Amino acid sequence: MSVLLETRGLSKHFGGVLALDGLDLAVAPNEILGLIGPNGSGKTTFFNVITGIYSADAGRVTFDGADVTNASGRTIYQVGMSRTFQRSRLSLPLSIFDNIMIGNHKRLNQGLWFNLVSRGDFKREFEQSYAAARALVEVFEPTLVDRLFDPVAGLPMIDRRRIEICRALISTPKLLLLD
């Protein structure tokens, strides 16, 4: 059986609190795995350690054959993992579209030349991004597709959650982590 994500002996403590205690876990391609546990049992900590927010005290993380233990957020993005956060991290004054694009900013060309001079390429990149964002929003909440430039501040919590999932998916990850 092939393995997409694997952890071996993953441990993390905060002072005297052992949040992860030698966790061995494997996720296969196309597998859907639920992490169930009471409040404070370490679910968020697990996500934070494998996505580079916290460093592990011990253990290894491999993804798609590469060792990504304590890798940076950029590396995690590049290997194809993306996530949502337990507490919303949307920027409320920004539009639905801008919030979704935050999930793709490492792929967009941010060069001065590209943005100011290569106007045709810039326009094409924008149009591709817009089409991709629209297609994702259509899947999760079709009524929002014509409101992509409205600020997310006006959306109910359920739609904000949907937009966060779209933001995690815009980078076409191999593994989506939903906290």
Q: Interface with Mg ion by CB under 5 A: which residues?
A: 43-44, 86
Residue 55 interacting with ligand ATP (CB under 6 A): no
Helix (H) / strand (E) containing 176:
strand 175-177
Q: Which of 16, 37, 93, 120 binds ligand ATP (CB under 6 A)?
A: 37
| Residue 17 Cβ vs ligand ATP, minimum distance, rounded to whole Å | 5
Nearer to ligand ATP among residue 18 and residue 117 (C-beta): 18
Q: Tokens 């956060």 belong to which residue?
A: 85
DSSP secondary structure string for all residues of 56-69 = -SEEEEEETTEE-T
Binding-residue total with ligand ATP (CB under 6 A): 12
Q: Tokens 């597998």 belong to which residue?
A: 31
Nearer to ligand ATP among residue 147 and residue 161 (C-beta): 161
Q: Tokens 């494998």 belong to which residue?
A: 50
Nearest alpha-carbon partner for 6 in 89, 67, 49, 83: 67
Nearer to Mg ion among residue 43 and residue 167 (C-beta): 43
The Cα–Cα gap between 22 and 57 comes to 10
Q: Which of 19, 49, 50, 101 binds ligand ATP (CB under 6 A)?
A: 19
Contact footprint for ligand ATP (CB under 6 A): 14, 17, 19, 37, 39-45, 86
